[in-house]
Structure 1
Amino acid sequence: MKPWLGRIERGVGLLLVLLLSAMVTLTFTDVLGRRLFNTPVFGANDLTEHLMALIIFGGLPLLTARRGHLSVDLFDRWLLHPRWRLWHKAVDVLIAAVLGLIAWEYALAVPEAMAINEVSPALTIPRSWMYAFMAFTSALSAALALFTAAPRHEHLSEEAPS
């Protein structure tokens, strides 16, 4: 991996950890205020919703680049055989298509959210920027799904049945 890509990955990872820490702190403070002082943090639901979207969609490209999506390894003994490389590429294309569709839908939501001035209920935070962020990171993840290295087939090729 190129050194600058590693720095970007570490920087984004650090930012995600800070966002998650902020969300945990906010939730803890909200629950504490609600239970002990009967005074919840105003707008905590709005902030938590936006932080959650930033964390999930901010981490999506990192997860995709590392091929970290949920997978079942029940059939790896057979599917990681070199003859299944085309199958793995087809799965990568399918994943990219689904992520591309998600990006497309969020991209369509941006102008609509701007037109109707869609905002969060309590703090009136505009939603269009969040939809644009989700569209961008989904599109980036779609591209990464196509160009990330496929799983290694060689390590199981000797022991896999023919």
Structure 2
Amino acid sequence: MGFSAWLTAHYEEKGPVQWLAFALELVAALTLFFLMMLTCADVLGRYFFGNSVDGATELTEIGIAILVFAEMPIVTWRGGHVVVDILDKIWSNTAIKALGLLSALLMSGSLYYVGVRIFEFSERAFSRGVVTELLGIPVGLIIQYIAFMSWATAALMMTYGVYHLLTQDRD
């Protein structure tokens, strides 16, 4: 089985979205593996050598940001958010789709606005030269990553998410 066949068998998305989902999940998986190795090294260093890994807390915080915001577009376009469907049995399929479309538009607009505000914070961090305390990593880079992933989530919600919403039948 080739890689493309494996990808098609394990990912329901089609076309470039399938490859994007794989790439983002690969980033998340590698980040999680790095966090696991960092934690193991930190604990082993602390207990057996009396010295922890310098900057482990900073690297853990950065890793969690990378992990969460790499998965955010995937969860969004797969519809993995918590949904309250109390009134779905009462309302028509058209009304449910209209409300779903409205919520997708509101989510996309909100994520776009949040991305703009976060990007402004990154510009301010760059202009002030803000770096992490121990390792000196520019904080603006992490903040920009969060802004770009918020924009990516908003864009993917407007494209593939809305397409999926409109083509999916109610159970």
TM-score by length of 2: 0.80
Question: What is the percentage of aligned positions where both structures have the same residue?
Answer: 26
1:101-151 CA deviation, whole Å, 9 max, x = no partner?
220111101210011111111101001111111111101111222221217
Which is worse superposed, 126-135 or 6-15? 6-15
Does structure 1 residue 85 correspond to structure 2 residue 97? Answer: yes
Which residue number corresponds to residue 44 of structure 1? 56
Structure 2 distance, partners of 1:151, 1:127, is 39
The answer to whether structure 1 residue 66 and structure 2 residue 78 are counterparts is yes
Counterpart for residue 165 of structure 2: 150
Query: Contact between 1:65 and 1:144, CA under 8 Å: does it hold in 2?
Result: yes
Q: Aligned equivalents of 2:27 and 2:153: distance in 1?
A: 18
* Cα-to-partner distance string for 1:9-47 (whole Å, 9 max, x where unaligned): 212212210111101111122123223333111100111
Deviates more, 1:88-97 or 1:76-85: 76-85
- More displaced stretch, 90-99 vs 26-35: 26-35
CA distance, structure 2, for counterparts of residue 121 and residue 16 of structure 1: 25
Residue 102 of structure 1 aligns with an amino acid whose one-letter code is: V
Name the residue aligned to 1:124: 136
- For structure 1, the residue ranges without an aligned partner over 5 or more in a row are 157-162
Tell me if the contact between 2:132 and 2:139 (Cα under 8 Å) persists in the aligned partners.
yes
1:16 equivalent in alignment to 2:10: no
Aligned AA for 2:89? R
**Partner residue, 1:101:** 113
Residue 13 to residue 129, structure 1, CA distance change in 2 (3 Å):
same
SS in 2 for 1:39: coil
**Structure 2: segments with no counterpart, 5+ residues:** 1-12
Backbone CA RMSD of aligned residues: 2.1
CA shift, 1:76, in A, is 4.0
8 Å CA contact 2:88, 2:96 repeated in 1: no
Instruction: String of CA shifts for 1:49-89, please: whole Å, max 9, x gaps.
Output: 11111111111112212122232344443467332221111
Residue 134 in 1 paired to residue 149 in 2? no
Name the TM-score, length of structure 1 as normaliser.
0.84
Relative to structure 1, the CA distance from residue 31 to residue 79 in structure 2 (aligned partners, 3 Å threshold; closer, same or farther) is farther
Matched, 1:34 2:52: no
